[in-house]
A and B are shown apart, each in its own frame.
Chain A
Amino acid sequence: MASLAVWKFASCDGCQLSLLDCEDELLTVADQVTIAHFLEASGDVLPGPYDLSLVEGSVTTSADIARIHRIRDISRVLVTIGACATAGGIQALRNNADVAEYASVVYARPEYLDTLATSTPIAAHVDVDYELHGCPIDKGQLLDTIAAVLVGRKPALPAHSVCFDCKRRHNVCVVVAHGEPCLGPVTRAGCRAICPAVGRGCFGCFGPSETPNGPAQASLLQITGMSEQDIARFYRSFNVEAFAGLAGDE
């Protein structure tokens, strides 16, 4: 039976929790694969190598760098899960700040900490076979990816924008109808357009879609009344590094 390992770097645990949140499928998955390393769920750890490694979280310490290389070495297929692993996560907001100052704000004794000045995606350090975007990832994409790796096909991962899924869902466009700022035109689909479905603009959980049109998006956001600072702030969240080109941070 194929073996599955789940690894955690700097993150909130939400993406690996998505696997445990597959309540209807979890036991079926466990019938199909040996869950060999998944500390959040099990103290039973089997030695590698592993057929599939799911990696959550971003690299923020020097020890992380060594660990991700070790994990790559013992993983046949390595899939990153979530905005932290694919883009550095919200903790990558430190990348354009003074991390020593950040540490001094949070900790009385920053010298006790071992932390890098940057939060970087897994792919900045090792080869990654597939990336599951999202903050958090979509359970359906996760299950499809596990199934795909098991049978040796490519997972079906969309690269188009949220707008397509939004139309397909028959949502009213929140920009056109309500003048709400929305990152849907430049954000990768995968969430099922859940924000416009509640009358809210997309805020970019899945990071940029393929070939996003930054200037057109900037005009669209300006029409809703956003200032340049507001627009920059809008991009600076869970996928700050991935959106950097669009936000004009380069």
Chain B
Amino acid sequence: MSHRYHRQIDVPALARVEGEGAMHVRVRDGAVADVRLEIYEPPRFFEAFLRGRRHTEPPDITARICGICPVAYQMSACAAIEDACGVILPPGIAELRRLLYCGEWIESHVLHIYLLHAPDFLGLGSALALARERRDLVERGLALKKTGNDLIDVIGGRAIHPVNVRVGGFYRVPAVAELAALRPRLRIALDLALETVAWVAGFEFPEFEHDHEMLALVEPGRYAIESGTLATTGGLTFDVDRFEDHIIEQQVPHSTALHATLAGRGRYLTGPAARYALNHRWLTPLARQAAESAGLGARCVNPYRSIIVRAVETVYAVEEAIRLIDAYEPPRSAAVPVPARAGVGRGATEAPRGTLFHRYELDADGLVTSARIVPPTSQNQSAVEDDLARFVATRLDLDDGPLTAACEQAIRNYDPCISCATHFLDLRVDRG
């Protein structure tokens, strides 16, 4: 059985993740010598070509970083530019953004739960294989996902790369009746989301716990989505405008995604588990109750169980959408003016996969002179690799096939978005 003491597991192309990545695990003398989550998605250099663009353009341009979470890019970009220009949005526009964002949480979480992650727990290669056995389950997921997409479509004008978002607000705000028309569908979606929590809570989860520090936006009084300040489970707190002091990115040879760490603290985790740990008290009673019934507790440190957290957050996003629609009064104007001025602005919002930071520097003409984007997947990369190393170490008795499958599943726990992760800027070497 010497192969168990010297072996190499290679997954050249990860399936059911967004973007292109590979995984390499090297075992020497019966111990894990090296684990690499290799991101070979080619770089697209967003931070470079954002320079020289008008301050109104980053929301549309950066949306193209990710087809799964374009709203997150638009929201963080708008927040950063409005910060640079010293504009604070009126509450009505801010709430409409939150409603749009709820649509993306629903669409993205349900995509991951049903189409990418659940097949792992059922021993199937895809949701299409699941549909051959239990078409009703996949149809439930697709119906729920569609409700999220329709919400984005109504407010954003298009489900993928919405066209109605602008710096300062929107081009057009929906009429009360347009949003009210979504309400019956959202009521049904709430039931589907609750059924989803119960369904995924019944999966079998491997024993595994991590001890990562977790980071998310917090906003006392509600579950933070599109605004807030940063907090970690280790007690660190900081404002969005200090993020560069705390989040350090480094390039590693095996990845076109930069690795982020917390200054002086090391690897950390952002995303649903982090949000849940820091903000679960602000969930709606129904979402909290669903989490309790699913056995989540105050923290979820088993990454496999993150699928339950996504389902709970879906319940929350649906309920929050209903609440926002019920309270909706069209803002007097669709957008507030955002006159350009020279300055630096930072924005952070909670993308489905975790905190997404944007930073822009503008000149007096309103042209972008530098841009920096720190997406969740690059922040989580070190934590994922750490999990994989520890996970593999306890499962070296498995044959290569099952071990490879287990590692792939371990990566999917984090819903990595590799398209997102492949664009960052280390401003320290900016010679622009």
| Chain A residues near B (Cβ < 8 Å) | 8-18, 20-21, 23-24, 26-27, 30, 35, 39-45, 60-61, 64, 89-91, 93-94, 97, 99, 101-109, 112-115, 119, 135-136, 191, 194-195, 197-200, 203, 205, 230, 233, 237-238
Contacts and interface: CB of A to CB of B under 8 A. Distances in A.
A23 B68 CA distance: 15
A106 B425 contact: yes
B160 A42 contact: no
A12 B65 contact: yes
A12 B48 contact: no
A47 to B, nearest CB: 14
Given A195-B163, A199-B172, A35 B425 contact: no
Contacts of A203: 60, 163
Contacts of A93: 45, 49
B61 A237 contact: yes
Give me the 7 closest cross-chain CB pairs, A-B, nearest first: A14-B67, A42-B126, A44-B125, A43-B15, A102-B48, A23-B146, A91-B44
Interface stretch (B136-144, B289-297, B307-315): B136-144
Nearest to A27: B131
B64 A106 contact: no
A93 B47 CA distance: 12
Contact of A97 (B48, B115, B428): B48
Contacts of B251: 107-109, 112
Contact of B126 (A41, A119, A195): A41
B49 A39 contact: no
B18 A13 contact: yes
A105 B431 contact: yes
A238 B64 contact: yes
Contacts of B49: 90-91, 93-94, 97, 102
Nearest to A230: B54
Contacts, number: 199
Contacts of B138: 27
A233 B67 contact: no
Given A90-B64, A195-B163, A43 B16 contact: yes
Nearest to A139: B159
Contacts of A23: 142-143, 145-146, 149
Contact of A103 (B45, B125, B143): B45
A198 B155 CA distance: 10
B53 interface: yes
Interface centre among A41, A43, A45 (most CB of B within 10 A): A43
Given A43-B125, A102-B49, A10 B430 contact: no
A105 B16 contact: no
9 contacts: A12-B65, A12-B70, A15-B67, A20-B111, A21-B149, A91-B44, A107-B256, A108-B429, A237-B61
A39 B43 contact: no
B157 A194 contact: yes
A12 B20 CA distance: 11
Contact of A42 (B16, B46, B164, B424): B16
A67 B318 CA distance: 42
B197 interface: no
Nearest to B255: A112
A12 B126 contact: no
Contacts of B170: 198
A9 B20 CA distance: 9
B58 to A, nearest CB: 12
B60 A237 contact: yes
B158 A194 contact: yes
B133 to A, nearest CB: 13
A45 B160 CA distance: 26
B397 to A, nearest CB: 23
Interface in B35-58: 41-49, 51-54, 57
A224 to B, nearest CB: 14
A161 B163 CA distance: 18
B157 A12 contact: no
B295 to A, nearest CB: 28
Interface centre among A15, A21, A60, A195 (most CB of B within 10 A): A21
Contact of B159 (A21, A119, A197, A230): A21
A91 B142 contact: no
Given A23-B146, A43-B125, A108-B251, A18 B160 contact: yes
Given A97-B49, A104-B429, A39 B15 contact: yes
A40 B61 CA distance: 23
B43 A106 contact: yes
Contacts of B14: 39
B160 A136 contact: yes
B164 A198 contact: yes
B347 to A, nearest CB: 19
Contact of A41 (B115, B171, B426): B115
A26 B143 CA distance: 11
Interface in B88-138: 111, 115-116, 119, 125-129, 131, 135, 138
Given A14-B161, A17-B67, A109-B253, A60 B42 contact: yes
A105 B160 contact: no
A136 B63 CA distance: 11
A86 B334 CA distance: 34
Contacts of B426: 106-108
A45 B16 CA distance: 12
Contacts of B256: 107, 113
